[in-house]
A and B are shown apart, each in its own frame.
Chain A
Amino acid sequence: MPSFRYEAPTTVKDVVGLLASTKGVTKILAGGTDLLVQVRSGRTKADVVIDTKRVPGLIGIREQAGSFVIGAATPGAELGDHDGLVRAWPGVVEAANLIGSTQIQGRASLGGNVCNASPAADSVPALIAARAVAVVAGPKGQREVAVEAIATGPGKTSLARDEFVIEFRLPKRPPRSADAYLRFIPRTEMDIAVVGAGVNVTLDAGGVCTAAHVALGAVAPTAVLVPDAAAALVGKKLDDKVLAVLDAAARRACKPIDDKRGTVEFRTEVAGVLARRAAAIAFQRAGERR
């Protein structure tokens, strides 16, 4: 493995300072489950690696008046163990917990998953559908950025060289709200999404959808929010007709590529299928919360 300088600062300010001052390729390390593999294989070059796990707050989940704040380097396993988070955001948690294996879950983080900027990142469609916000720290302080605005293309982000994500904030949940995430892979686990779909809904007492957000992964250069698909659900109960409109809207949002993991045609079709299936799960979960 190529050598690099390793830093493990303990304040946000020091991380930003290092990002601003170091020369060469500087990489932020959270769990490292993408970064270290990439460096090891030679796909990514790193001169400096800044480990953020020692910065207070970077690991941990806080509940603040019904909303959740998740440290950017919090391992997936901790998300899965947090009962309150699992209850409020089952889709976000199931998406994050799909990454890698049990061992990987001990390290893999939302911050890494989002900032690695893979179009196929599992947690990203779920976070986007959840309307999650990333808190970005930089030399001028902190700013909030919608998760869908972080990645700008495969491997590319909107973050400045001296910025990094410290945490994610999930909004307060109205009653009868739930989310769901599904991905398609050719096997049962240990794989990368060929298509991912996150659906987040709020229902009224009669089971009619009052708010919805739908996001898709691996069907475009970045994960995409699909307002048309959400619009298909709002004001509706879930029936075959609604699902068909949702399916069509999801497919229209796809701009995938042909690659070793799937064809344009396959990805587009399966995006519609997963949007339908994820919506059905989200509706069912929301409906059970009376």
Chain B
Amino acid sequence: MTVIKRKDELKVVGTRPIRPDGVDKVIGRAAFGADLAMPGMLVGKVKRSPHAHARIRKIDTSRAKALKGVLAVITAADLPNIPSEEAFMGEGPMNFRDLSRNCMARDKVLYEGHALAAVAATSAAIADEAIELIAVDYEVLPHVIDVDEAMAPGAPLLHDDLITAGVEPKPNKPSNVAKRIHFEIGNVDQGFKEADIVVEGRYTTKPVHQAYIEPHACVATVGADSQAMVWTSSQGQFMVRAYCAKLLGIEISNLRVIPAEIGGGFGGKTLVYLEPLALAMARISGRPVKMVMNREEVFRATGPTSGASMEVKIGAKKDGRITAAQALLKYQAGAFPGSPVGPGCMTAFAMYDLKNVRVTGYDVVSNRCKVAAYRAPGAPISSYAVESAMDELAQKLGMDPIALREKNAAREGTKTVYGPMLKNIGYVETLEAAKKHTHYGIKLGPNQGRGVASGYWFNVGGESSAAVHIAEDGTATVVSGNPDIGGSRASMAMQAAEVLGIPIERVRCIVGDTASIGFTFMTGGSRVTFATGLATIQAAEKVVEDLKRRAAMIWDISPEAVDWRDGAAHPAGANAGNFQPLTLKEIAEKAGKTGGPIGAEVSLNAQSPGAGFATHVCDVEVDPETGYVTVLRYTAVQDVGRAIHPSYVEGQIQGGVAQGVGWALNEEYVYDSKGRLENPGFLDYRIPVASDLPMIDAVMVEVPNPSHPYGARGVGEVPIVPPMAAVANAVRAATGIRMTQLPMSPPNLRAALRKAK
């Protein structure tokens, strides 16, 4: 086990330096996905389905191809027909056939906005005109969007060959249920028999979008020698490389992916949409092709997360000890299998130390775009149901909601329903901090209520590479394989500076392209500060070893007799000799004479990332006449391991809460009777604006993660897990009404208030 440094031993970690990528982003100099222009570049556009479900009888592209200025027109017929093959590249399982058919429909369109052709032309106006000239003959089919309706007998089938996995005996007929997942420990039926009190409820959530501000965008080129390049904004340049190579049959060494600055992803940029099309059209035309989605395309055709239908049942003794818990979770996957119902099942009860648990999940396809990961994929949905039920239980028991959670809290050694034992976790600490926070004692007024909810996220580690290079003036560059979404340039530079013993201002971090740094798993799963941080630390440690060796060479003593501290080599003790310290700068200046350039790269597969827990307290006021909910106060307590850059950690917590509050109150996909999205824009897809939220108090509890020398654990995802239940529980306290459907929008809450009267 790694020895965790004490806080007082750290000079850089835990401080709040100015964000290194900040100035460019503030003044508009940062180059995002849509910012690259190349000589001779064409504009690519996508033809999309107006129908939620239809068979494509014929696509006639002849008139589009004949239009002057059009240099490439493609349909699925121009792309390889990829066979079914499972891969695990992103935050969830991925089938290359499905990915290919999501990028370009083959035989059937499965949702409104599904791409079925693309053009590249010399101007946007010509490309738009060409899109209109593509004639498609559709046989419109019945569609289904809601998860319960999609599971019902007689529902329109999306895929004729989809046989439910995980069911014995194997079904002999296709359905919309891609997979059944089941976890069980203990004796659940017996547990319910032993319960004094049982709460049961059915909960539903609507599909919501990640709502990143930057639409998907890329530029692709393919040279006459087959060497291809993609410039794109994504959560992983290596992910884009792998997917594009597979979908187009390109050798990986012939494809270089350059990560653009990314304007938000939240899991939604863990797939490819435009890149394979741009590459295919660049190959045909011999010209660079740029493709940029508009906001409507982003909403209609890219990664929302699932809407869900859930049933939760919890039984407890009078003293609050839970005797049994079960959940049935049905998640929309969108047009292709792959909803986050798996992690939804695993995280649902992970906050609690329970003997008898049963969780069943269904992954269900329906006629909306294929889901993509969204911040702690699956967990906010199941936690909304479970933590609402926990609130009901606390109410029935007459127990304080924090006390009920403390009574059942996961602790060191708690066994999860999905197998592993939890270790070095800080859940109880979040509960204690929430209870002690002044917020918890503030008196509430009329129509006001307070809600408490907890959440869990695994966090992941995985494959990462990082390099540290020392320049001849003694400054350092870190090259990381991860796009910087949550501040990883800062956290990588800080971790390297800590090891090297130099000020943060003398370390810069860049995000390398796929040809300039070793393979790195994408930015997701709250893994980068931990896993790529480890690679950075180890690369910096290698550099320090080298620096010590060079100092030893200069002093003509043994390397073991050299200490590295405060950015300089020192003789380890009196016996080592009496030498003036050699600073990093001094050694760097003489690098040519001591062995050449100084630098190291480390590639690793990081293990034991350290799970994250959070407990949130939310106060709301409800306008009973309109159903309008004002969030008055919000305190988010989280075990962050140890914060590398506390401001970034607080920002992650606040951002997760803001998204969760939007999910709770107003965000939803609204479909018309024909399955067409009615709100593909930020006017009617209502994420919170700044004035909708109070200052969110982010409280960091630090239970260091022993797998990382500075104790870091992932922090980016768990803050979106508790908010929906925290808000719902506060609304319950304010109104007496349990909102079992999200969003708790004014019309929905007002309707519930009216019904309760």
Contacts and interface: CB of A to CB of B under 8 A. Distances in A.
Nearest to A274: B626
Contacts of B691: 187-189
B683 interface: yes
B747 interface: yes
B686 A186 contact: yes
A187 B666 contact: yes
B566 interface: no
Interface in B670-692: 670, 678-679, 683-684, 686, 688-689, 691-692
Contacts of B678: 259-260
A192 interface: yes
Contacts of B686: 186-187, 191
B264 to A, nearest CB: 18
A190 B689 contact: yes
Given A262-B747, A269-B750, A273-B625, A187 B692 contact: yes
B740 interface: no
B123 to A, nearest CB: 11
A266 B683 contact: no
Interface in B733-754: 745-747, 750-751, 754
A266 B755 CA distance: 12
Contacts of A83: none
Interface in B170-193: none
B440 interface: no
A269 B666 CA distance: 19
B626 A184 contact: yes
A192 B683 contact: yes
Given A191-B683, A260-B684, A273-B625, A186 B689 contact: no
Interface in A34-65: 41
B745 A186 contact: yes
Contacts of A266: 627, 746-747, 750-751
B628 A260 contact: no
Interface in B633-666: 665-666
Q: Is the interface of A mostly helix, strand, loop or mixed?
A: loop
Interface residues of B, number: 24
Contact of A3 (B125, B625, B679, B745): B125
Contacts of A188: 689, 691-692
A263 interface: yes
A270 interface: yes
A289 interface: no
A190 B296 CA distance: 18
Contacts of A41: 296
Contacts of B751: 263, 265-266
Contacts of A189: 689, 691
A97 to B, nearest CB: 15
A246 to B, nearest CB: 14
Interface string B124-151: 0100000000000000000000000000
Contacts of A194: 746
Nearest to A263: B747
A186 B125 contact: no
Interface string B691-720: 110000000000000000000000000000
Contacts of B626: 184, 270, 273
Nearest to A277: B625
A56 B195 CA distance: 80
Given A187-B689, A189-B691, A260 B670 contact: yes
A261 interface: yes
A170 B627 CA distance: 35
Interface in B472-492: none
Contacts of B670: 260
Contacts of A269: 625, 750, 754
Contacts of B683: 190-192
Nearest to B747: A266
Interface string A178-222: 000000101111111010000000000000000000000000000
Contacts of B754: 265, 269
A35 B665 CA distance: 30
A192 B686 CA distance: 11
Nearest to B629: A186
A232 to B, nearest CB: 18
A273 B688 CA distance: 24
A191 to B, nearest CB: 7
Contact of B688 (A184, A187, A262, A265): A187
User: Which one of A184, A188, A259 has the greatest number of beta carbons of chain B within 10 Å?
Assistant: A188
A31 B691 CA distance: 25
B679 A260 contact: yes
Contacts of A187: 666, 686, 688-689, 691-692
Interface string A1-24: 011000000000000000000000
Nearest to B693: A188
Nearest to B683: A192
Interface in A240-284: 259-263, 265-266, 269-270, 273
A47 to B, nearest CB: 15
Contacts of A259: 678
A184 B745 CA distance: 12
Interface in B592-651: 625-628
A17 to B, nearest CB: 30
A186 B628 contact: yes
Contacts of B692: 187-188
B746 A261 contact: no
Contacts of A191: 683, 686
A122 B475 CA distance: 58
A269 to B, nearest CB: 7
A262 B625 CA distance: 15
A180 to B, nearest CB: 17
A275 B691 CA distance: 25
B746 A186 contact: yes
Nearest to A258: B747
A187 B688 CA distance: 7
A189 B690 CA distance: 9
A224 B734 CA distance: 35
B747 to A, nearest CB: 4
A72 to B, nearest CB: 24
A263 B627 CA distance: 13
A170 to B, nearest CB: 30
B474 to A, nearest CB: 46
A20 B692 CA distance: 47
Of the listed residues A184, A186, A188, A190, the one surrounded by the most CB atoms of chain B closer than 10 A to its CB is A186
B99 to A, nearest CB: 29
Interface in B555-590: none
A247 to B, nearest CB: 10
B620 to A, nearest CB: 14
Nearest to B677: A260
19 contacts: A41-B296, A184-B628, A184-B746, A186-B745, A187-B666, A188-B689, A188-B691, A189-B691, A190-B683, A191-B683, A191-B686, A260-B670, A261-B684, A263-B747, A266-B746, A266-B747, A270-B625, A270-B626, A273-B626
Given A187-B666, A188-B689, 10 more contacts: A186-B666, A186-B686, A189-B689, A191-B686, A263-B751, A266-B746, A266-B750, A269-B625, A270-B626, A273-B626
Top 4 closest A-B pairs, CB basis?
A: A266-B747, A188-B691, A260-B670, A273-B625
